[in-house]
Structure 1
Amino acid sequence: MTPRRRQELDADDLATVLEEFIRSFIRLPSAERHTFTTLSVLHTLTHRGPMRLTALTTTEQITQPAVTQLVDRLERDGLVERRPDPDDRRAVLVQVTPAGARIVHTRRRDRVDRLARLAETLTPEERHAIGAALPALARMAALMDDER
């Protein structure tokens, strides 16, 4: 989809372009293959720190049984570990292990490398336009996080 060139923001065009970009972006080749939910949990724990299972059900938008099963598998694979919550010894926190964090960082490095190669094929004007849009896109992402 090539959006129409204009100055005002068309939310439909924005949604369409972002959906296509994100669909391709999350599927960029990586040496290690994991499900989207697995990668999302690892990313969340890497960037937000240890969390309770109940918090993960909210951030990942999956059921309690599903997150429990996923964390069990990730723990078996050595990608996360459970620790007692220092604020409430009855509760458990899930935290990413160095192996889990390495997956997140490797995928990010792969994506940055891929985006850099793609950006080289754009015109200087296109690269400038994307760069100029980054602060507004970052603000929109923050607003979306605030709404949750």
Structure 2
Amino acid sequence: MLARQVSEAAEALIVTWTAVAQDAVPRLSTLQLEALLIVRRSPGINLTGLAERISATPPAASRLCDRLEAAGLLDRRRTSANRRAIELRLTSHGLRMLDTLSERRIDAIGRVLGDVPADQGEALLAGLRAFAEAVETANAASEA
């Protein structure tokens, strides 16, 4: 079955991807890192939006944001349009930390890809892009 083979093959990529995060300073859980990445992609997202994206309750998302804010990675601000609404933004420290993590991941994956024949690397990239597009299509359909 293709799904099983892809899952098994993807494990090496996932292990390489996540191993780099284990050395991040500060050390973040997968959920904390996911939340920061969501806020980077959607600056100004509100707490409810973040909670929905990470499949958590608003109180759980708020506690998660408390920890990220205490670490100096996230900022919560009241919006000027609605004084009750809170928007989430990364701090400069949070942005730098994610940029550093991204560069370290690129380096780690690049080292592995150095041992992969170029045509197979291109095929891998094409397959991953097709997978990402299918995920976006599925997400858009489920939100409609």
Query: Could you say which TM-score interval applies, normalised by the shorter chain?
Result: 0.7 to 0.9
Q: 1:121 to 1:139 in 2, by over 3 A?
A: same
- Contact (CA 8 Å) 1:50, 1:96: kept in 2 or not? no
Normalised to the residue count of structure 2, the TM-score between the two structures is 0.83
Q: What's the offset of the Cα at 1:19?
A: 4.9
Match of 1:102 in 2: 96
TM-aligned CA deviation for residue 117 of structure 1: 0.7
C-alpha deviation, 1:138, in angstroms: 2.8
2:36 equivalent to 1:48:
no
Equivalent AA in structure 1 for residue 69 of structure 2: E
Alignment partner of 2:119 out of 116, 125, 132: 125
How far residue 48 of structure 1 moved from its aligned partner, in angstroms, is 1.2
2:136 corresponds to 1:136: no
One-letter amino acid of the counterpart of residue 95, structure 2? A
Residue 23 of structure 2 aligns with which residue?
A: 30
TM norm structure 1 = 0.81
| 1:18 maps onto 2:10 in alignment | yes
2:76–2:88 CA contact under 8 A, matched in 1 = yes
How many residues matched? Answer: 140
Residue 103 (structure 1) shift: 1.4
For the Cα contact (< 8 Å) 2:16–2:108, is it kept in 1?
Answer: no
Are the structure 2 counterparts of residues 132 and 92 from structure 1 closer, same or farther at C-alpha, using a change threshold of 3 Å? closer
**1:127 and 1:26, CA in 2 relative to 1: closer, same or farther beyond 3 A?**
same
**More displaced, 56-65 or 11-20?**
11-20
> Once the 2 structures are TM-superposed, how far is the Cα of residue 96 of structure 1 from its aligned partner?
1.0
**Secondary structure at 1:88's aligned position in 2?**
coil
Further displaced range: 60-69 or 11-20 = 11-20
Structure number having the greater strand percentage:
1
In 2: Cα distance, 1:116 partner to 1:80 partner: 29
Contact 1:30-1:107 within 8 A present in 2 as well? no
Verify the 8 A CA contact 1:25 1:111 in the aligned structure 2.
yes
Q: Paired residue for 2:61?
A: 67
TM superposition shift of 1:23: 4.4
Deviations 1:32-52 (A, max 9, x none): 221111111111111111211
